[in-house]
Structure 1
Amino acid sequence: MAAALEQLSSSKMFDGFNLRFRHQSATLGCSMTFSIYMPPSPASNIPALYWLSGLTCNDENFIMKSGAQRAAAAHGIALVVPDTSPRGLNIEGESDSYDFGVGAGFYLNATNEKWKNWRMYDYVVKELPKAVSGNFEQLNTSQASIFGHSMGGHGALTIYLKNTDKYKEYDATCLIKKNNNVSTPILIDQGDADKFLAEQQLLPRNFEEACKAVGAPLTLRMQPGYDHSYYFIATFVDDHIAHHAQFLKSA
């Protein structure tokens, strides 16, 4: 039985539509929103490209700021954008820090009982695809790929690697070291003026070395002068959609 969706908005863009929905999540135990950009494509067999956003974001940031719809429309790909965490649960401490709790689900399943609702891995990997496929017959969710930014970029890597090799860790560098059968190329852009890079919160070179060690195909592009913002995302998002499109359309 398809999950019941409440449509919140619809806006035409590049001859496709930005759609936003609310549904009750059994996985997270709360109401969740997600956005979809549906391209002006044939009535069936549209591939799905999932976008995972970074800390403090919700499902609207990427849709409103990235300009990714132009490339998605050109390639005939749907963009599926979940929220970044459960909301409205009023757990003590859930909003005390920008990098923990609300807006900071990290796309993992929490193990502490207090945070039992924080099961964003299961939500993104299991519940959301079922909700989407059950309500959009024109989508082919078996032809799917995933990308993201910051917390979401790392989440996309871990979800891809865990569902290739079934490991239980949530660190992309650790996962790739244990996974010597990755054949689909990974593309990462990193601004060299990103303050989080300077603060050693982002360690793309560690991931690059781990990929080299196991022969995993990675293109890491250090982009001069770019920071961590949506200006950076908007500049390079077309390249990433084209990167995913070549594999989605050949699947």
Structure 2
Amino acid sequence: MSLSLVSANRCFDGWHKQYSHDSKLLNCHMRFAVYLPPRAVSEKVPVLYWLSGLTCNDENFMQKAGALRLAAELGIAIVAPDTSPRGEGVPDDPDGAWDFGLGAGFYVNATQAPWNRHYQMYDYIVTELPALVEQHFPVAPRRSIAGHSMGGHGALVIALREATNYCSVSAFSPICHPMECPWGIKAFTGYLGDNRADWYQYDASELMRIAQIKVPALVDQGLDDSFLEQQLNPGSLEQAARENQYPLTLRMQPGYDHSYYFIASFIEDHLRFHARHLLT
């Protein structure tokens, strides 16, 4: 599968690059960003996949999180995909809402028309994108995954369902129990249909409660997050971890909100957490 270079910027003696490609799974043209640390010149490096939140694309994390200096030091590549399929013919929310459709793929495999032709984001993140990255870049098949908000939901779900493929998982402000919050109910109803039995496979709290293979997890949640009570439900994830003795570290951070200022404040902790598992 071929790639087209969109942009390239030298950064901390490594390279931040954007690429586009045709996705067979999503039936559209996609873009992603990759940061390659200096060490990638001489050896294969492990890779952290970052999944962004509602309305975001491949640029938000790379430009705002302040992660690249430490990634260069640690010798970890970072890959940031888009948050949904894009382009002509890809359906969007009929009302133009920002929490469904373009920029809001929720990292599920849609089963309902018209979304099922393009919105296969789970398989794209788990299979197509890593195969592409490992084919074209000097990365080792050692992966971790992280994300924010909707992307935190995606990261947790993927790590819980594909535990043998990931060394660690972390999230900022994740949607922890989407079956029981407005964002999740809207997305799951639209993409998956009305049968709630089909929703469990994409709910991190439900998956953590029954997980057999346990990937180390770190979650940070700001206590001044305006979405905390209605949408995020970290208590549900904490309860599931307690019931299953799951290795989850959940940190509630006073004064922090839902923004990238929060992510930038604690991204070093997350990168070092992943490095302990990726580099051993």
**In the alignment, what sits opposite 2:26?**
28
CA drift at 1:97:
1.0
- TM-score normalised to the size of structure 1? 0.93
| Residue correspondence of structure 1 range 109-128 to structure 2 within 5 A | 109-116=109-116, 117-128=118-129
Q: Partner amino acid for 2:114?
A: K
**Residue number in structure 2 paired with 1:147:** 146
5+ long unaligned stretches in structure 2 = 166-197
Query: Residues of 2 paired with 1:52 and 1:104: CA distance?
Result: 11
Q: Distance in 2 between the 1:92 and 1:163 partners?
A: 29
Offset at 1:93?
Answer: 3.1
Take 2:95 and 2:13, find their aligned partners in 1: how far apart are those partners?
Answer: 38
Does the CA-based 8 Å contact 2:55-2:98 persist in structure 1? yes
User: TM-score of the superposition, structure 2-length normalised?
Assistant: 0.84
Distance of 1:155 and 1:175 partners within structure 2:
12
What is the alpha-carbon distance in structure 2 between the residues aligned to residue 131 and residue 90 of structure 1? Answer: 22
Deviations 1:69-116 (Å, cap 9, x if unpaired)?
A: 011111100000000000113426367111100000011100102101
Amino acid corresponding to residue 15 of structure 1 in structure 2: D
Give the letter for the 2:6 counterpart: L
Three-state SS of the structure 1 residue aligned to 2:78 is strand
Partner residue, 1:48: 47
Q: 2:125 is matched by which residue type in structure 1?
A: V
Aligned residue pair count: 244
Instruction: Quickly say closer, same or farther: Cα 1:105–1:92, change in 2 above 3 A.
Output: closer
Identical amino acids, percent of aligned pairs? 51
Listed as ranges, the matches of 1:124-135 within 5 Å are 124-135=125-136
Question: How far apart, in 2, do the equivalents of 1:144 and 1:105 lie?
Answer: 22
Given candidates 178, 186, 190, the residue that maps to 2:221 is 190
Distance 1:95 1:231 in 2: 30
* Structure 1 SS opposite 2:108: coil
Distance 1:32 1:238 in 2: 29
State the partner residue of 2:273: 243
Task: Find the counterpart in structure 2 of residue 179 from structure 1.
Answer: 211
Compute the displacement of 1:165 (Å).
Answer: 8.2
Return the letter of the residue paired with 2:57: N
Distance across 2 between alignment mates of 1:94 and 1:87: 15
Q: Does 1:101 align with 2:132?
A: no
5+ residue gaps, structure 1, are none
| Greater share of helix | 2
**Alignment check: 8 A CA contact 2:34 2:80 kept:** yes
Paired position in structure 2 for 1:75: 74
What is the root-mean-square deviation in Å for CA atoms of aligned residues? 1.7
What amino acid maps onto 2:202 in structure 1? Y
CA distance in 2, matches of 1:10, 1:82: 16
Structure 2 Cα separation of the partners of residues 241 and 19 of structure 1: 20
SS in 1 for 2:21: strand
1 CA distance for matches of 2:57 and 2:277? 27
